[in-house]
Amino acid sequence: MKYKWFETQCLKDEISLHSSVREGGNASKIPLDISVLSRMREFVKYGCLQQFALRALDNELDEEELSDLKDQFDAIDVDQSGAITLEEMRDALAKDLPWKIKETRVLEILYAIDSNEDGLIDFLEFVAATLNVHQIEMHNSEKWQILSQAAFDKFDVDRDGYITPEDIRMHTSLKGSIDLILKEADIDKDGKISLSEFRRMLRS
């Protein structure tokens, strides 16, 4: 049910410290990074393909590279359940706004991030929504080339060097026309996405 909403929305809108140990149910003492909360809110505005691409990219990162985001995840996951609930997300997002965020908006953000539709946000889903791609590239451009290539290869099923509409359909299981989704990254309008176009989309 929810994924039908997500698919429709996509087509319609084009659209360091390590984790602190908690004891006795106390939440992490690490303060929330406002930029992380901002990226979480912005994720819902990304196009379908970019959201899927960020999820592919986060699977290529190692534990050390994810340590800072793990700290932020733990700071939001106050009940230490290993997943962020709707209430925890609402409480976290409220800290970055001078007014109360609407419940419908919080739900919209949760639905966009919650790729497995369980009503919760696990760590990898959180990473996809809050990953700072520019920071990765600036920190280590060679590593960025490797990571983005690996993410691209997950879409390029037939290994011809391009992501085609059929590749997108196979990777995402989306139904219907892929034309609008393809346009998110197909800069030269040749009906397929090159590696350079894919990287440009991730940076945008």
Q: Are 114 and 124 in contact (CB under 8 A)?
A: no
Q: Is 82 exposed, middle or buried (0-12, 13-18, 19+ CB in 10 A)?
A: exposed
Domain 139-203 has CATH 1.10.3720.10: no
Q: Are 73 and 84 in contact (CB under 8 A)?
A: yes
Helix, strand, coil proportions of the chain in percent (round to 5)? Answer: 55, 0, 40
What was the pLDDT predicted at 70?
A: 95
Provide the token pair at 56.
């592919």
Amino acid, single-letter form, for residue 25:
G
Q: Are 152 and 163 in contact (CB under 8 A)?
A: yes
**CA within 13 Å, CB half, 151:** 28
Domain ranges of the chain: 2-17+29-135, 139-203
Measured CA to CA, the distance from residue 43 to residue 199 in angstroms comes to 17
Token pair 């939001």 in the structure block, residue: 76
pLDDT by residue, tens only, the chain of 204 residues: 444 444 444 544 433 333 333 334 444 577 889 999 999 999 999 999 999 999 999 888 888 889 999 999 999 999 999 999 999 999 999 888 777 788 899 999 999 999 999 999 999 999 999 999 998 899 889 999 999 999 999 999 889 999 999 999 888 888 778 888 999 999 999 999 999 999 999 988
Residue 128, phi-psi category: left (phi > 0), alpha (psi -120 to 50), beta (remainder): alpha
Q: Are 156 and 167 in contact (CB under 8 A)?
A: yes
What was the pLDDT predicted at 46?
A: 93
What was the pLDDT predicted at 145?
A: 94
- Domain 2-17+29-135 falls in which CATH fold? Recoverin; domain 1 (1.10.238)
Q: Are 159 and 106 in contact (CB under 8 A)?
A: no
Measured CA to CA, the distance from residue 66 to residue 19 in angstroms comes to 10
Provide the token pair at 160.
């011809």
